[in-house]
């Protein structure tokens, strides 16, 4: 999938999300950075003692969306292809098939996918994928992706330290 430059729309909130896990499963963390249209940023983080990276990716998007007022115009920015594909391509088929995959298995992380679906219904949302963990001048516009990654890793470490 080629990366397309992010072009925010007028009045749109950018929601930068990331998840991290130390071991998979293991202690995990998530981060969501809400970039309001006025330029202000709000950082949200959390974690779980025994989880997976995928669950943390879903949770980051879910908690970020939950923080927004109903009816927000939002672009969810993720470096997780699983999260993106789940919510933009596969979810319609999963619903039609009674939350089963094409192979007939139950959808993994269904609780979070369903919660995300419900939360998305409250907003005017679109998705944007960015290549993660890159640096340099060409990627300066993705500084909030890098920040979300650092916050998620720190949240996972904090959970691990208390376990």
Which residue numbers are catalytic?
18-19, 57, 79, 133, 149
Q: How would you classify the pairing of strands 13-21 and 73-78? A: parallel
Gap between the Cα atoms of 89 and 127, Å rounded: 11
Q: Supply 80's token pair.
A: 């997780």
Number of neighbours of residue 48 by Cβ within 10 angstroms: 19
- The SS3 call for residue 108 is coil
* Angle at the Cα of 16 from the Cα atoms of 30 and 148, rounded to 5 degrees: 45
Gap between the Cα atoms of 46 and 60, Å rounded: 8
Q: Supply 137's token pair.
A: 């001048």
Residue 79, φ and ψ in degrees, nearest 5: -105, 10
């Amino acid at each position: 999938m080629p990366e397309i430059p992010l072009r925010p729309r007028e009045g749109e909130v950018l929601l930068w999300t990331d998840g991290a896990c130390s071991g998979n499963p293991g202690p995990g963390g998530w981060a969501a950075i809400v970039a309001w249209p006025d330029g202000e940023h709000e950082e949200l983080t959390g974690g779980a003692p025994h989880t997976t990276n995928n669950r943390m990716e879903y949770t980051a998007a879910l908690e970020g969306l939950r923080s927004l007022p109903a009816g927000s115009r939002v672009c969810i920015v993720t470096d997780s292809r699983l999260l993106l594909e789940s919510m933009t391509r596969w979810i319609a088929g999963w619903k039609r098939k009674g939350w089963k995959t094409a192979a007939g298995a139950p959808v993994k992380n269904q609780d979070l996918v369903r919660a995300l679906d419900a939360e998305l219904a409250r907003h005017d949302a679109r998705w944007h994928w960015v290549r993660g963990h890159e640096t340099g001048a060409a990627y300066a516009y993705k500084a909030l992706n890098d920040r979300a990654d650092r916050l998620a890793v720190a949240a996972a470490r904090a959970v691990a330290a208390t376990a």
